[in-house]
Amino acid sequence: MSTQNDRNEIRKIIDRIEKKSANSDYIYRGEPKRHTKVSSSLYRQYAKEIVAEHFDIKVVQDEMLTEAERYVYEKDGFEILTQLQHYGGKTNLIDFTNDYLVALFFACDGFPNSGGRVILLEKNESTKDYIKEPQSPINRVRDQKSVFVQPPKGFIERGPYKVINIPKHLKQPMLDHLEKYHGISASVIYNDLHGFIRVQDLHQSAYAEFFKGLTCQDRGDDEKAVEHYTKALELNKQLVFIYNNRGIAYGNMGNFGRAIVDLTVVIQQEPDYAKAYNNRGNAYRAIGAFDRAIADYNTVIKKKPSFAASYYNRGIAWLHLEEWGKARSDLMEAKNMGINIINLFGNGYESVSHFEGINRVELPEDIAEMLTPTQS
């Protein structure tokens, strides 16, 4: 969820890009990590192994093109390169776009623990010879408003371009902003079969992290569970149910504020998800916000009257408020619906006297008896 500070920072970054590019014609590139050079994938493949002055990237690419021509009907070298680039091959093309909003998407898409950046490259006499427009763009190239840069050395000299840095904490809020206000999202940017494969891989990775978190949570290691749930959400924030699990884990750790934030995300996106209201009610109850807790339990019971645990939870909240009649009614309802209210009460409190001591109340005798194990 983005804060007002996030929204202010986003506006400042967009304003800076617009201001820097206002008086000339620019193309843009988004990078989710801040590399030392703006370089092609082919250059990066060889840069660590070969001394720069001995490396002629044109020779390498020409040999690659000669080999690639055996596999395609296309004979235009640049068109072959654009296809190789699309399919993930190593080329001396660097992806740019005519739309700075698309560049912002790429700057924020991936590497959540690293800052990103947007590169602004001016179209002028010194750069025009190696800026290449695609001749027969495929769907993704059209939607990304792609343009390619083919630098003679494999990288762009530092002088011609400007840089706008994106802090790592602003990546997800920026992606949310781009989707909400400009309709730019992964499904739009990656809108072909390769995009599907990318999303499929992200889904699989996200689910893997989710199940790791679930395993840790079952073992009682809530801190480790939170780590895995967080990684899963970084991979795919659309899996809303993971916020619910992370919220429960935060609650188990005593971090009720974070629990409430996560569970509120679930409720905002899935307003009929009864469990999220119940879990948020428990978090509110834990911090003494009994009226809010009861409001959440009321919502659960309205949406799903068979949710027996919410009657018990609401009954306990009524006890805190010394609303004995309402507490008695809810506890009896929970018991009649099959809830073992004695065991459940014992999970939260050592005994009736323990509850009375920490809350400075004295339960009516019949309610105390309802919550006390029978002597064998």
Q: Could you report the per-residue pLDDT of 232-247, keeping only the tens digit for each?
A: 998 888 788 999 999 9
Whether pLDDT at 290 is above 80: yes
Q: Write down the CATH superfamily of domain 195-287.
A: Tetratricopeptide repeat domain (1.25.40.10)
Could you report the per-residue pLDDT of 298-346, keeping only the tens digit for each? 999 999 999 999 999 999 999 999 999 999 999 999 999 999 999 999 9
* Structure confidence at residue 364 (pLDDT): 94
Whether pLDDT at 1 is above 70: no
The helix (run of H) or strand (run of E) holding residue 295 is helix 290-303
Between 142 and 272, the more confident residue is 272
* Structure confidence at residue 198 (pLDDT): 55
* Structure confidence at residue 57 (pLDDT): 82
Could you tell me the sign of the dihedral formed by the alpha carbons of 191, 196, 201, 205, in that order?
Answer: positive
Whether pLDDT at 199 is above 60: no
* Structure confidence at residue 14 (pLDDT): 96
Q: Residue 373 has what DSSP assignment?
A: P
Whether pLDDT at 65 is above 70: yes
At residue 142 the predicted structure's pLDDT band, cuts being 50, 70 and 90, is: low
Whether pLDDT at 26 is above 60: yes
pTM: 0.55
Between 37 and 286, the more confident residue is 286
* Structure confidence at residue 5 (pLDDT): 92
Please state, in angstroms and as integers, the Cα–Cα distance from residue 55 to each residue in 61, 133, 192, following that order: 11, 26, 35
Average pLDDT over the chain, rounded to whole? 87
- The answer to whether residues 102 and 189 touch, using CB atoms and an 8 Å cutoff, is yes
Whether pLDDT at 54 is above 80: no
Between 257 and 4, the more confident residue is 257
Could you report the per-residue pLDDT of 144-197, keeping only the tens digit for each? 788 899 888 888 887 778 999 999 999 989 999 999 999 988 777 776 655 555
Between 211 and 325, the more confident residue is 325
Please state, in angstroms and as integers, the Cα–Cα distance from residue 270 to each residue in 84, 238, 239, 245, 265, following that order: 41, 11, 11, 14, 8
- CB count, 10 Å around CB of 219? 10
Between 182 and 3, the more confident residue is 182
- CB count, 10 Å around CB of 244? 21
Whether pLDDT at 202 is above 70: no
Could you report the per-residue pLDDT of 244-264, keeping only the tens digit for each? 999 999 999 999 999 999 999
Task: Tell me the backbone φ, ψ of residue 234, rounded to 5 degrees.
Answer: -65, -30
Alpha helices in 150-273 (DSSP H): 171-182, 186-189, 193-218, 222-235, 241-252, 256-269
CA distance 352 to 354: 5
Buried b (16+ CB within 10 A) or exposed e, 177-190: bbeeeeebbbebbb
- The answer to whether residues 140 and 48 touch, using CB atoms and an 8 Å cutoff, is no
Whether pLDDT at 201 is above 90: no
* Structure confidence at residue 81 (pLDDT): 82
